[in-house]
Amino acid sequence: MRHLLGLFILITILSFSCTTEDTNAWRGLEIPAHFPDPVFQVIVSEKGFELGRKLFYDPILSRDNTISCGSCHIQGSAFSHHGHDVSHGIDDRLGSRNAPAVQNMIWNSSFFWDGGVSHIDLISVSPIQNELEMDESFVNVIRKLNLKEDYRKLFKEVFGTDSVSGAYFLTAMSQFMSMLVTADSRYDRYVLGDATALDAVELEGKQLFEQKCASCHVGVLQSDFSFRNNGLKSEPFRDGGRYHVSLIESDKGKFKVPSLRNVAITAPYMHDGSLRTLESVLAHYALGVQKSSTLDPELEKNGVIGIPMSTEERTAIIRFLHTLTDDKFIRDPRFSEP
């Protein structure tokens, strides 16, 4: 009897601790207390999010059903394509740009390196139709999804429709991407009041970063989401960047200032993936900035090109950049392939 009672208590304790520690439990979209208001208000339901998650990992979105969004945006590297300078798409075709991290999307005012997409709901159309990425027509994706009974059933459950529509497909994708919030790095813990979260060198790096980098990489998201030329190339630019969208001559060679969250695990760097390590990024800003007619004025102050930094200063900044890694985010079971 005592044994049975003990077993009963043990089971109760175990099932209790399981429910309280269940990281899979639905919590909805949470806006971190120390973040600004998001640019996009996306209403997320659990079923809508789960549908978006299934779609994100489903190669049915590509022409030959081999490539999913998750093939290039890998959770373990904060949904970037770690190790690939430019992305490898369908038939192993090479793109011309590096796949950025998909994280904290609702705080971005536009998407892609050139800001070519200005609404979160429209993101998925580009990779699907891009001939170097998924090379499929949007209409055909919707047709293929409609042929699948499980998808028809899921869309009915989430949106109450009898068929899969393009608009609801895009809404489901936004619901998944909106949930990809990363805000739990050591840096965040420091910002939220834990003075011990960063060591002395990291704190020195944070200060240097705020002096030397935060005119563009500003605030808790390390970006003002503007378009700027940080001096990777001089004219003629191989990739016109923002110019492709605005057709304004003075936008040539400008790209979206990226957030630096999880930057230690998203190498290689820059729109073209041309810098392989954080050491080479810092060496670029200190010694490698190229002069051109659209070079950002922040990188050409008082006739000095680039950002003067000693080797120690660069090391401290790199140490700080490592504190932006959010291990929970890259292991969060809610975001993995279902």
134 or 330: whose CB is closer to ligand HEC?
134
Read off φ and ψ for residue 29, nearest 5 degrees.
Answer: -80, 120
Q: Which of residues 74-113 bind ligand HEC (CB under 6 A)?
A: 87, 89, 95, 97, 99-100, 102, 105, 108, 111-113
Spatial CA neighbour of 99 closest among 64, 62, 66, 130: 130
186 or 228: whose CB is closer to ligand HEC?
228
Closest contact distance (angstroms) between CB of 14 and ligand HEC is: 39
Closest contact distance (angstroms) between CB of 49 and ligand HEC is: 14
Three-state SS string over the chain comes to CHHHHHHHHHHHHHHHHHHHCCCCCCCCCCCCCCCCCCCCCCCCCHHHHHHHHHHHCCHHHCCCCCCCHHHHCEHHHCCECCCCCCCECHHHCECCCCCCCCCCHHHCCCECCCCCECCHHHCCHHHHHCCCCCCCCHHHHHHHHHCCHHHHHHHHHHHCCCCCCHHHHHHHHHHHHHCCCCCCCHHHHHHCCCCCCCCHHHHHHHHHHHHHCCCCCCCCCCCCCCEECCCCCCCCCCCCECHHHHCCHHHCCEEECCCCCCHHHCCCECCCCCECCHHHHHHHHHHHCCCCCCCCHHHEECCEECCCCCHHHHHHHHHHHHCCCCHHHHHCHHHCCC
Contact segment (CB under 6 A) with ligand HEC among 4-12, 13-21, 40-48, 291-299 equals 291-299
Query: In angstroms, what CA-CA distances link 79 with 132, 202, 216, 332?
Result: 19, 25, 23, 12
285 contributes a contact to ligand HEC by CB under 6 A: yes
Q: How many residues of this chain bind ligand HEC (CB under 6 A)?
A: 50
Closest contact distance (angstroms) between CB of 26 and ligand HEC is: 22
Closest contact distance (angstroms) between CB of 227 and ligand HEC is: 7
42 contributes a contact to ligand HEC by CB under 6 A: no
Closest contact distance (angstroms) between CB of 299 and ligand HEC is: 5
319 contributes a contact to ligand HEC by CB under 6 A: no
260 contributes a contact to ligand HEC by CB under 6 A: yes
216 contributes a contact to ligand HEC by CB under 6 A: yes
Closest contact distance (angstroms) between CB of 208 and ligand HEC is: 8
Q: Which of 145, 172, 307, 330 binds ligand HEC (CB under 6 A)?
A: 307
Measured distance CA(128)–CA(144) in Å, rounded: 13
Q: Which of 49, 255, 329, 335 binds ligand HEC (CB under 6 A)?
A: 255
Q: Which of residues 223-242 bind ligand HEC (CB under 6 A)?
A: 228, 230, 232
Answer for the pair 331, 270: CB distance below 8 angstroms, yes or no. no
317 contributes a contact to ligand HEC by CB under 6 A: yes
Interior angle at CA 51, CA 188 and CA 88, nearest 5: 75
23 or 211: whose CB is closer to ligand HEC?
211
Q: Which of residues 50-79 bind ligand HEC (CB under 6 A)?
A: 61, 67, 69, 71-73
Closest contact distance (angstroms) between CB of 104 and ligand HEC is: 9
44 contributes a contact to ligand HEC by CB under 6 A: no
Q: Can you give the binding site for ligand HEC, defined by CB under 6 A?
A: 61, 67, 69, 71-73, 87, 89, 95, 97, 99-100, 102, 105, 108, 111-113, 123-124, 127-128, 133-134, 173, 212-213, 215-217, 228, 230, 232, 255, 257-258, 260, 263, 266, 269-271, 281-282, 285, 296, 298-299, 307, 317
